């Protein structure tokens, strides 16, 4: 018998470390879920901005150089808002 294995009164071999495996898997799923939701949200928001760029250029009279500033300003504002 090793130190990591114990035998209960009913003779069943127990491994106490294995109780942590479902907890670790559950925590991983929660962490990945939050990350995946964030990534999907960012992709969606960036997609919306890029779809709106041609209309912004035509209605506001922006050049391609000014559109780059729009993208940069949006990225800085989004990052500064703590949306992570």
**pLDDT (tens place) for every residue of the chain, 84 residues total:** 455 566 666 666 677 777 788 888 888 888 888 788 877 877 787 788 888 888 888 998 888 888 888 888 877 776 665 555
The torsion defined by the Cα of 53, 39, 34 and 26, in degrees rounded to 10, comes to 160
**Alpha-carbon distance values, 38 to 3, 28, 41, 59 (Å):** 43, 15, 5, 31
DSSP structural state of residue 5 = -
- Tell me, what's the pLDDT at 11? 64
Distance CA 2, CA 6 (A): 8
Residue 6: the pLDDT is 60
Query: Taking Cα atoms as reference points, which of 71, 72, 76 lies closest to residue 52?
Result: 71
């Amino acid at each position: 018998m090793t130190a990591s294995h114990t035998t209960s009164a009913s003779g069943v071999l127990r491994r106490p470390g294995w109780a942590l495996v479902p907890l670790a898997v559950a925590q991983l799923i929660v962490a990945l879920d939050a990350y995946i939701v964030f990534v999907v949200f960012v992709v969606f928001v960036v997609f919306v901005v890029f779809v709106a760029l041609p209309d912004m250029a035509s209605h506001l009279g922006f050049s391609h150089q000014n559109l780059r500033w729009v993208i940069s300003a949006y990225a800085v504002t989004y990052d500064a808002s703590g949306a992570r």
